Amino acid sequence: MSAVAVPTSAKEARKKRILFKCALTNTISDVLANREGWAPTLNDDWNFFGNDFELTRKDFLIKNYKKARKAKEKSGVDVTNEFSFIPSSYVLPTEYHLFVEEFRKYPAETIWIMKPVAGAQGKGIFLFRKLKHVQDWKKKDASGSEALPYVVQSYIANPYLVGGKKFDVRLYVLVTSFRPLNAWVHREGFARFSHSRYSTDSVDDAFVHLTNVAVAKTAADYDPERGLKWSLPKLFRFFRSMHGHSKVSKMMEDLAKVIIESLRSVHHIIIQDSHCFELYGYDILFDENLKPWLLEVNASPSLTASSQEDFELKYRVLNHMLDVLDIEKKLLGNETEIGGFDILIRNNKPVEKNRMPNHNNSNFIPTLNLRLGDYVEQTPMP
């Protein structure tokens, strides 16, 4: 979801209601309708306009990641350890020959995954081991059309499993400005599980390898009441019970760096408009070593609820987003926490928090201000 906000002065905000227009009919329209002091308008006198735009594509993410990685490498950074959060990736067909060279360096049983650059809900994704499967895709179809652009990536074959199932995590990152870079991360989100238990015996079973709800819903035994999601508090309680607080804290720090570096890789080329913001949906996969991998960044994260619990979560995220945007001019401007959002980057600089010292260390240890899974709603839903 992307939207445009036109700020009013504090004096103007006190005199009149906030007027909004919304081209969407999902959770955001419910949030706006229940917002105190806000009212819909059909004219062009709006203070807030919600709409849907495709600003982020998988091929752009890969291109900018590679540029940032190369710049880091030239500056002396060990990119293998310090800047490695996207698997080996190529954009096809433009980088087809580079991909073939890379493909031949890997063992024969290596799995690769193909994703349409502008796809959604798991459509068009497929896995393969043999190069001929890509060559078949690359050929022109009967109509003579060129092959559609895809991103091909080495498949993360050692995903962290819960109950034998693969999952990824959806996080909500709100960027209120790119120059200077200001970004907030909501403490809530969810883990999405595959429908079937994980196995690499077959690369053709989408129920095994994909975590998209749109894919799982097509299974004959899919249970919409039970669903295939965990809340972040539940997921992080599980992580801590299995690995302890120290290792999970390290994972959280690594994850914060993924968000920061991914935004830094594009902030200089995003068109800056002081009236605009963007709510991104980050999709993260953890491997069995708890290393976070960035799968994609959605400029239009789904705001359509799949259950009552899902609706309540997305409602809170969107309501808190409006609190951060502060069209009503209620904030001081130095807040580090608003609703479920914590500021991670302010004026281009990462924001730190203090962690309590352990028994071997009398000093406070600064850590990045990411607090996933640590939110309790204080007020009831309207």
Q: What is the pLDDT of residues 302-356, one digit of tens each?
A: 777 777 888 889 999 999 999 999 888 899 989 999 999 999 999 999 999 865 5
In tens, the pLDDT along 366-375 reads 789 999 998 8
Which of 89, 99, 106, 66 is closest to 153 using CA atoms? Answer: 89
Give the DSSP letter string of 323-372: HHHTTT----S--SEETTEEEEEETTEE-EEEEPP-TT--S-EEEES--T
What is residue 28's predicted lDDT score, i.e. its pLDDT? 81
Question: Given this model, what pLDDT does residue 80 score?
Answer: 85
Report residue 357's pLDDT band, with 50, 70 and 90 as the boundaries.
Answer: low
Residue of 345, 298, 302 whose CA lies nearest to 61: 298
Region 62-90 average pLDDT: 88
pLDDT of residue 33: 85
Per-residue pLDDT at 51: 56
pLDDT at residue 139, rounded to an integer: 62
- Give yes or no for residue 112 having a pLDDT over 80: yes
pTM of the model: 0.86
**Range from 48-52, 96-100, 286-290 carrying the lowest mean pLDDT:** 48-52
Q: What pLDDT does residue 333 have?
A: 86
Question: Which residues lie closer than 8 Å to 86 by C-beta, 6 or more apart?
Answer: 61, 62, 65, 153, 293, 294
Task: Pick the closest to residue 191 from 149, 231, 150, 221 (CA basis).
Answer: 231
Averaged confidence pLDDT in the chain: 83
Question: What's the pLDDT at 2?
Answer: 47
190: closest CA among 300, 84, 86, 305? 305
Dihedrals φ, ψ of 191, to 5°? -100, 135
Residue 249 pLDDT greater than 70, yes or no: yes
Please tell me whether residue 230 adopts helix, strand or coil conformation.
strand
Range of 5-19, 37-51, 128-142 with top mean pLDDT: 37-51
- Per DSSP, the chain holds a count of helices (H) and strands (E) of 10, 19
